Structure formats: structure tokens, C-alpha cells
A and B are shown apart, each in its own frame.
Chain A
């Protein structure tokens, strides 16, 4: 009976979870009960065997999550990129020659200036050639100029006429609109006058009736 009652306690002892009192009770029982003592020994042996089953090597590694790069690293990367780009654009270069590291800086700047100076000289020459071509061109005939002036004057007159006609047309339209608006306002006022007149006549009539009635009394 005690064997089954103490089963859970024996498990507590087997796995080291028993409090001192429970442990003492179980030890006392094991000392007296050969069946439980043998079982306990067998279970300890079994636990030794179970420990032989290990997880494969590949599953034992802890995978460190890849953390996001810090702002400092991002800034450093951008700075490095900028320096690299500037280094490359300036025409600087790093060479490993004869066992030594050689850094050449700024050759690109000189090249760029030389190219700009060459282009400037070329443009200057082209401008001079163009000026020479223009000065060598035949001048216009004297009779042509009055004709051109006359054509320009005629054109100006035409433009003036068109402008004047447009202005007159616009003025006429505006005047017509103004008259129309005035007529509408006048009509509106007459209607109101008429209404007021009728009202006055009606009031007068009523007053007459009142006076007449008073006199009869």
C-alpha cells in the first residue's frame, strides 16, 4: 500500500524535487522495501540510458539573429562611400607596385583644367571665324531700306486700325449692356411704384369708408 502511495514522492526524489521531509520518508521506505529500492535503481539506470540520446550537432547551434545595422554604422558607410566616390572622381588611385603601396592624389583635377582650357580656346577660335564670315558678307542695297520702312509703317497702321475697331466694338457692347441694365432697373422701380400707388389708393378708400361710417352715427 505504501509503495503506491509514495509513487509520486519517489518521482520527486528521483528528479531532485523532493523537500527534505519527503526525501527522508522515501529513504526510510526504500530501506525497508526491496521492490521499490530495485525499481528506484532501475529508474536511475534508465535515466542514464536516456541521456545517451543527444540532439544532432546541427541543431545545437544557437542562431544569432542578424541585428539591424546601427545608425552609426550606416553613417560610416555613407561617409566611406562619399570618400570613395570623391577619391575616384578626382582621378586619384591606389597602386601596389614593387611591394609598396602607392597613392596618387588629384591628377584628375589637372586633366580637367587642361581640357577646359582647350575647349575655351576652341570656342574662341570658332567665334572669331564666325565674326569674320559676317563682316565679309555683302551689304544690303540702299533702295531696299525705304521699302522695308514703308512695309513696317503699313503694318503698324494696320495694327492700329484693328485695335481701334476692336475698341469701338467693345465700347458699343459695353454701352448696350449698360442701357439694358438701366432699363431693367427702371422697370423694377416702376413696378414697385405701381404697387405702392395701389396700396395708397386702397388705404385712402378704407379711410373714406371709416369717415363715412362715423358721420352717419
Chain B
């Protein structure tokens, strides 16, 4: 079992700067994915992810030991995304080309051309529906659905009460449901109920 994130941060602060490489390897992919879903552009996701880690690296000294490194990192990334989206006047980009690339890699052996087309269409519609959500709801949806953070972790990242997180999620899911149904998509492939 390797060292915890927080132990790696302490190692960094003690002068073992190579420990940050491990943090980068652990979190870069997830953070990049979250950023991509919040800003909607592959190129910007790369830039912002790099910026987030750079900020984290420079600000390691300000990291509070009682906090979780991942929550802190998500906070940095989210702030960068908010700034970027605000600069674009609230518009979240969804690149169709990138979405098609994403659609090709769905995990199934030899999908038919029709399947591929349908999946690309679903992917595109879902991305557009999430992008159209208000920022607060979009953030919670992304952190819960795609980053798989717990409600508690989300409340720490966003620095809001647990009930606020659930309200935003509930409303966000409701809006998504409406939009997707409006687009002709119905939940035909429900996820199995999670086991405790």
C-alpha cells in the first residue's frame, strides 16, 4: 500500500518534491476528466488541468493538514473552471468532434455501425444537456456522477452543507431527465440499484 495523498504532500513539504509526481499520476486523469465535463473542451481541459496542478504545487504550503488533498485539488480545478466559463459568459463548450472521439471508445467488442451512431448521439445529447445546466447543478452532477465523490466529499469541495448538495443534485437530475426526455431519450438502460 503506497502512501496516502496527505503523506505525499507532507513528503513534498519536507523537500521530497518527487512525491508530487505520484500525486500527479494519481489525480491528473480524474481532474482532467472533471474539467473536461465542466468546460466542454479537450484543449482547455488539458490547459486548466496543468494550471490546477501548477497552482497546487505552488500552494502546497497553504494546504491544511486536516483537509483531504483531493478535495483541495478539486476546489482549485473548479475555481479555474468557473473563471474560464465566466470569461466565456457562462457558455460551456461541447465540441462535437471530441464527443465523437469519445463515443468510439465505449467499452464493447465490435459494435455495429448503427450502435456506434446511436451511442454517439446519446453521448452528444447528454453532454449538451449537462452543459445547459446551471453551474451549481452541473458541478454537483459532474462530481457525483462522473467523479464518484460521496455527498460528504462534494460538500467539502464546494464548501456547502450536505443538504444543499442533495438539493442541487436532485434538481439537476430532474432537469436532465426533462431535457433528455424532450430529446427523445428515455432511461431505457437503468443502472442497477447499488448494493450497500
User: B115-138 interface mask toward A, CB cutoff 8 Å, 1 = contact, 0 = none?
Assistant: 000010011001100100000000
Check if A173 is an interface residue, CB within 8 A of chain B: no
- Let me know if B119 and A16 touch, CB within 8 A: no
A67–B163 alpha-carbon span in the complex (Å): 44
Number of cross-chain contacts by CB at 8 Å = 130
Expressed in whole angstroms, the Cα–Cα distance for A19 and B45 within the complex equals: 36
B187 touches A54 (CB 8 A): no
* A174 vs B192: C-alpha distance when bound (angstroms): 117
Q: Check: B101 CB closer than 8 A to any chain A CB.
A: yes
Contacts of B141 in A (CB 8 A): 50
Q: Is B14 an interface residue (CB 8 A)?
A: no
**Size of the chain B interface, CB-CB below 8 angstroms:** 53
Interface centre among A7, A12, A49, A65 (most CB of B within 10 A): A49
- Name the CB-closest residue of A to B101: A56
Contacts of A59 in B (CB 8 A): 29, 32-33, 36, 42, 45-46
> Which residues of B lie under 8 Å from residue A64 when comparing CB positions?
25
Chain B residues near A19 (CB-CB < 8 A): 196
Q: Report yes or no: A45 in contact with B102, Cβ–Cβ below 8 A.
A: no
Q: B187–A45 contact, CB under 8 A?
A: yes
* A62: chain B residues within 8 A (beta carbon): 25, 28-29
Subset of 5 A-B contacts with CB under 8 Å: A45-B191, A46-B173, A47-B190, A50-B130, A56-B36
